[in-house]
Structure 1
Amino acid sequence: MPSHAVPSSAYALWAFIYIAAAVQAALLALALWRRAVNPEANRVLAVWVALTGVDLLVKAVYWNSLSPEWFRAYRFVALFPFLYGSLFYLYVRALIEARGFRLRDGVHLLGFGVMLALNAHVLMLSEPQMQALSARWVAGEKTIGSWFDLPLFVYSLSYVAAALMRVHRYRRRLRERRSDADRMSLRWIDVMAACQVIIWIIATTQWLATVPGIDYRLLFGAVAAWVCVMGWLSLNQSPVASEPVAVAEEDATSGAGDSDDARFPAVEARLSQLMRGDDALYREPALTIGQVAKRSGYPEYLVSAVINRRFGGTFWDYINRLRVEAVRVRLADRQDARTILDIAYDCGFTSKSTFNAAFKRQIGETPSGYRKMAATEGRAGA
């Protein structure tokens, strides 16, 4: 917390860091707003990043000058964290459902609205009163505004947890519908959430105890670092396979009573037919269950039910099992001189890490280890 005991040079250093992060936040927000990939989500993220930039800029100006004239703005942006957790949730939802901000989504901003109303009397103080309050703040009086720290932690972290639950459900549905699910499963969301948790740990620590070096300067230094991480993650994200919740719920409802469907054997036979030969469907890299259903001539919910109950596991599990088996056969063929990755990609895999993990899980050996073992056994048999 600010105190006259801290040298002015320390304020200047942190102010420089905050201003640099604020400038980057402004540029990043503009780039995200104009980005064509995942546009609905990126506009929510652009607003979030822009607010963070304003937050850092005001803190930089106030902490560098400790001017009472800036304390009103400082107290206002101190309420912005009540927006950050809910904006993270709205960002994740927009990614998953490809749905932008709507008027009724304002309910997720009520936390900020309530806290703004509760702090209105502070923001409307006269200039002499605001100067006196600023002096108390600079002197390190912890009672100023500390009462809303606990509600802030609970409110924001609950939104982070809710967003991660949505990501978990999305990944599960994606694995049921796409064979390249692992490449598109929003792994960067975990990093974003982890960064927020680290920031909240710092905030909680400085709130509960006096630990040297852990204070508001470090807290918002972490926020500045978060802006940099956000820039790298958001500008390198690939298009997300959005799936409206209504579609997933409809599929689940349609397949709920089909456990004894008389068409199961026919669907199973048709799938086996489609997955055989040189033109096997599993070799298509971005294969979806919708494409398989269309080729099979059966409804998607029925194909999904057969895969889950007759073949075991999700659509992603089913297709990758076929791909791994095809790779295994080719690795055992001494006449096939292609690299392991060339074989894997030819069999439909799109990610080296996904391929290696799936092969090791199914065969119990690494691809290179299996190829060496098969070659040794071949020479011994000759």
Structure 2
Amino acid sequence: MQLSIINILQLLLVFQSLVFMTFLLSQRRGKYISNSLLAIFLFVLAVHMISNFIFDLNLSWPIPDLTNSYGFLYGPLIFLYIKSLVYKDFQLSLRNALHLLPWLITLSATYFTIIPIQLSGISILISFSTYLVLSFRLIKHFHLIIKNTQSRFDSIALLWMQRFLYGLIFITLVDTIHNLIVVNNLVMENLFYGFLITSLLFFVTSLVFHGLRQPELFQGVSVEDEALVNDAASSYTSSKLAQKEIDSLAELIQSYFNSNQPYRDSDLNIQKLATSMNMNNRTISEVINRYFNQNFSDFVNSYRIQEAISLLKNNDDKTTVLEILYAVGFNSKSSFYTAFKIKTGMTPSEFKKTLQQ
């Protein structure tokens, strides 16, 4: 039996997926459910690739060709994985099992009839596209929640997952071309298929790497966090706060920030602030949204940047920008530079140069 480059790439992807799957299941860091869902995704990919390998080489195999059914699993698994990262109390339930129905139906039908490749391909494409849209919407909703409840948006946002979803779109396009356009050209078909598997090798490595780098201290948003955002979206229609009371509470919050400097805590969230001020987190959220016309993250960062500017002006050149950004409550250089440039129109380095003129 002579293996082609395509076959070698298939086996490499199978090996990589199984190794990463075992690694994820043995990890204690991060969410166990999230790691498990990602491990299942890798297992499905490994089974899919080994099935392709067996049927490409026309090896004897007692199980019917089920390769057309696996495509119905990738979308639901990615969506549920993202959902497990987003919500603190996420648990797998029978309701989640409904996402597997298209796969189960296709799997059952495969034993009784031959499903046309074009029909299964189009069905999988529709299913996968639907879950991609749902995943993008879920991440967008998550970002809205953490902007209104957390002060460290950049370090916990799922921006990396958005990039992977774009990567999946690219891989899907390559797969579609492979299946629909170059099917009659063996050379081009192998070229696209090889490129597809290579892309998956890089995709899987990056996905596992970034998935394990999720901040351990932040386990997702709660039901209460989501309720705050829903209140803001409805413009606090059920609020009992009068404008006079909002003005008074806004002054209280400003006074507390100026005197106690809670923004210096890089892990500050709305619940921490509410506890320290002996206030309701919904009330604080409403005041910040209605009076200051900002979300919680932007409000806190405005104080951080304000102090950073003050420290840069009074800097004796011994204190570095890195020391300043940590001192005022930022925990990453990129988030500090982004917030600083939005506020001043300049990077911290450019701002320092203007002070020297």
Tell me the TM-score normalised to structure 2 length.
0.89
258, 265, 275: which one aligns with 2:257 = 275
Q: Is the CA contact 2:322–2:333 (under 8 Å) kept in the aligned structure 1?
A: yes
C-alpha spacing 1:368/1:226, structure 2 compared with 1 (3 Å): closer
Residue in 1 that maps onto 2:58: 66
1:133-152 residue CA offsets vs partner (Å, 9 max, x unmatched) = xxxxxxxxxx9522211111
1:14-93 correspondence to structure 2 within 5 Å = 14-36=6-28, 37-63=30-56, 65-67=57-59, 69-70=60-61, 72-73=63-64, 75-93=65-83
- The correspondence for 1:328, drawn from 290, 303, 309, is 309
What is residue 5 of structure 2 aligned with on the other side?
Answer: 13
Q: Given residue 292 of structure 1, which amino acid in structure 2 is its aligned partner?
A: L
Shift of 1:253: 4.2
SS in 1 for 2:291: helix
1:311 aligned counterpart, secondary structure: coil
Query: Is it true that 1:108 corresponds to 2:89 in the alignment?
Result: no
State the partner residue of 2:269.
Answer: 288
CA distance in 1 between partners of 2:298 and 2:225 (Å): 21
CA separation in 2, counterparts of 1:217 and 1:84? Answer: 20
Whole-angstrom distance in 1 between the partners of 2:91 and 2:17: 21
Q: 1:46 to 1:201 in 2, by over 3 A?
A: same
Which residue of structure 1 lines up, in the alignment, with residue 142 of structure 2?
170
Which residue of structure 2 lines up, in the alignment, with residue 132 of structure 1? none
Amino acid at match of 1:366: T
How far, CA to CA, are the matches of 2:117 and 2:279 in structure 1? 61
- 1:202 aligns with 174
1:262: Cα distance to partner?
Answer: 4.5
- The residue identity in structure 1 corresponding to 2:355 is A
Partners of 2:119 and 2:58 in 1: how far apart? 23
Structure 2 gaps, min length 5: none
SS in 2 for 1:70: coil
Gaps of 5+ in 1: 1-7, 124-142, 377-382
Give the whole-Å Cα distance in 2 for the aligned partners of 1:14 and 1:107: 35
- Equivalent-residue separation in structure 1 for 2:154 and 2:212 (angstroms): 19
Cα distance, 1:148–1:315 mapped onto 2, change above 3 Å: same
Whether the aligned pair in 2 keeps the contact of 1:268 and 1:310 (CA below 8 Å) is yes
In 2, Cα distance between the equivalents of 1:218 and 1:337?
51
Shift of 1:165: 0.6
- 1:176: Cα distance to partner? 0.6
For 1:45, what is the secondary structure of its paired residue?
helix
Secondary structure of 1:79's partner? helix
CA distance 1:336–1:347, shift in 2 (3 Å): farther
Q: Distance in 1 between the 2:231 and 2:349 partners?
A: 44
Identity of counterpart residues, as a percentage? 20
Which SS does the other structure have where 1:286 is aligned?
coil
Q: Does the 8 A contact of 1:184 with 1:241 survive in 2? A: no
State the alpha-carbon separation in 2 of the partners of residues 250 and 169 from structure 1. 12
Query: Using the alignment, how far apart are the partners of 2:123 and 2:33 within structure 1?
Result: 29
Q: 1:197: how far off?
A: 0.8
1:118 partnered with 2:90? no
Superposition map of 1:323-362 within 5 A: 323-335=304-316, 337-362=318-343
**Contact 1:332–1:375, Cα closer than 8 Å, also in 2:** no
Q: Does 1:97 align with 2:87?
A: yes
2:179 paired with 1:188: no
Cα-Cα RMSD: 2.3
Query: Deviation string for 1:201-225 (max 9, x for gaps)?
Result: 0122223322725544443443343
Distance 1:225 1:62, change over 3 A: farther
One-letter code aligned to 1:303 = I
Letter in 2 for 1:175: K
**Change in CA separation of 1:216 and 1:120 when aligned onto 2, cut-off 3 Å:** farther
Change (3 A) 1:246 1:342: closer
Q: Deviations over 1:5-29 (max 9, x none)?
A: xxx96x5222112212211211211
What secondary structure, in the 3-state scheme, does the structure 1 residue paired with 2:66 have?
Answer: helix
One of 228, 247, 253 as aligned partner of 2:205: 228
The CA distance in 2 between the partners of 1:307 and 1:162, in whole Å, is 30
Q: Is the 8 A contact 2:156 2:214 kept in 1?
A: no
Matches within 5 A, 1:233-248: 233-239=210-216, 240-245=218-223, 247-248=225-226
Describe the SS at the equivalent of 1:233.
helix
Residues 47-56 or 213-222, more deviating? 213-222
The alignment status of 1:309 with 2:290, answered yes or no, reads: yes
